[in-house]
Amino acid sequence: MKRTALAVIAAAAAIVLAACSTDAGGGDAGTDTAGGSKVLGIVAYIGNNAINQQAIRGATQVAEDAGWEVKVTDTQGNADQANAAMSSYATQGVGGIFVLVFASSAINAGLAAAQAADVPVISWGGGLAPGIIATTSNEAVGAASAKALVDAMGTEGDLLALTFHPGKLCLDHQNEFDAAVAKVPGLEVTYNEVVVPGQQQSAANFTTSWLASHPAGEGNYGIWTCWDEPMEGIVSALAQAGRTDVKTFSTNGSAPGILDVKEGVVTSVVWQPSEDEGAALMQALLDYTENPDPSAEGQTIKIDGVVVDATNVDQFIEEHPNAVK
């Protein structure tokens, strides 16, 4: 029942995203639209990813409240497409560009185009670089996830870690994970890199393979992923294998991730307040456009996440109802 409901939610969200999306190369999305409003050009990493959608929703609300128009380009994790979209938005003279997930080092061409056109850029999780006026920090969420894992696993056990190095958020989360498990020599870690697109199936395949060499009843087992979309594949593989002895940990805390904790199929997830982060980044952009200063140092916005597990999931949902929408 829950999987069907989530599929409907995801489909609806995708329709909403498509409705406000545009190919950055098509039409005039300049600062002066027919209604005289400024335009925020959003470069999404994966447009139908729940956590991306939440950050976009936060930024969109603030932008529209300020009278801006919002346009979204879905790059499906392709850095070349991200650079092309940024360059196109810059050429069109948008009021600002919002890039999600891509490491700032991967979008040099897009940043150069934005700087040349005097278009400020905000980045969700990509880090600061010339041309980026504000970004968000990933370290706190990664550290919280790693601590929750170590606390649950104890001093000995076998772990499967599913990573994704092209994503800056994932890389930062993994750095915190690596630092935490390095302090616990009794935790043996197997690393596998998931593929995007196809992250859920990739995670399911790695999990199935790992389970074959880690039989039930013969160890203390856990699986960690640097964001929670692969967790759906992990949960599916565990269910297919009939395994309930494996602890599971993830980050970001999308609606499916939180509901997986409530159902008892995920041990813990760290909820990242991405909607609040998106809103804060857009507010930083608005503040900058009121008093632009290209020489000013970029700011890093830090909003702590929340570890959600069986002990607090009901209270969390009550306090954060939008987190499961």
Residue 321 to residues 51, 254, 310, Cα–Cα distance (Å): 15, 12, 17
CA distance 57 to 63: 10
* Digit-coded pLDDT (tens) for 76-116: 989 999 999 999 999 999 999 999 999 999 999 999 999 99
pLDDT above 60 (res 2):
no
72 and 6 in one domain? yes
User: How many CB atoms sit inside 10 A of residue 296's CB?
Assistant: 10
Asked if residue 4 has pLDDT above 80, the reply is no
In a domain, 281, yes or no: yes
Q: pTM of this prediction? A: 0.77
pLDDT (tens digit, 9 = 90+) per residue, 137-190? 888 899 999 999 999 999 999 999 999 998 888 999 999 999 999 999 999 999
Residues 155, 279 share a domain: no
Could you list the residue range(s) of the whole structural domain that residue 221 is in? 139-252
Same-domain pairing of 165 and 220: yes
Does 316 fall in a domain? no
144 and 118, same structural domain?
Answer: no
Q: In terms of domains, do 10 and 64 share one?
A: yes
Domain assignment present for residue 309? The answer is no
**258 is a domain residue:** no
Provide the residue type at 94 as one letter: V
106 and 172 in a single domain? The answer is no
Domain identity same for 243 and 295: no
User: 52-86, pLDDT tens digit by residue?
Assistant: 898 999 999 999 999 999 999 999 989 999 999 99
Reported confidence tier of residue 47, pLDDT bands at 50, 70, 90 = confident
**CATH number of the domain residue 221 falls in:** 3.40.50.2300
Supply the pLDDT for residue 30: 46
Q: Taking phi first (over 0 means left), then psi (-120 to 50 degrees means alpha), and beta for anything else, what does residue 295 get?
A: alpha
Final residue belonging to a domain, choices 252, 284, 315: 252
Confidence of residue 3 (pLDDT cuts 50, 70, 90): very low
Q: What is the pLDDT of residue 18?
A: 37
The per-residue pLDDT for 166 is 84
Contact 60, 30 (CB under 8 A): no
Split into its structural domains, the chain has a count of: 2
> Does residue 168 sit in the same domain as residue 219?
yes
Q: What is the pLDDT of residues 189-223, one digit of tens each?
A: 999 999 988 999 999 999 999 999 999 999 999 99
* 44 in the same domain as 116: yes
What's the 3-state SS for the chain? CHHHHHHHHHHHHHHHHHHCECCCCCCCCCCCCCCCCCEEEEEECCCCCHHHHHHHHHHHHHHHHCCCEEEEEECCCCHHHHHHHHHHHHHHCCCEEEEECECHHHCHHHHHHHHHCCCCEEEECCCCCCCEEEEECCHHHHHHHHHHHHHHHCCCEEEEEEECCCEHHHHHHHHHHHHHHHCCCCEEEEEEECCCCCHHHHHHHHHHHHHHCCCCCCCCEEEEECCCHHHHHHHHHHHHHCCCCEEEEEEECCHHHHHHHHHCCCCEEEECCHHHHHHHHHHHHHHHHHCCCCCCCCEEECCCCEEEECCCHHHHHHHCHHHHC
Cα separation, 28 vs 10, whole angstroms:
29
CB-count exposure of residue 318 (10 Å: 0-12, 13-18, 19+):
exposed
CB atoms inside a 10 Å sphere around CB 245 = 15
Q: Do residues 248 and 292 share a domain?
A: no
Residues 194-203: tens digit of each pLDDT: 998 899 999 9
Q: Is residue 117 predicted with pLDDT exceeding 70? A: yes
* pLDDT tens for each residue of 18-43: 333 444 544 344 454 545 579 999 99
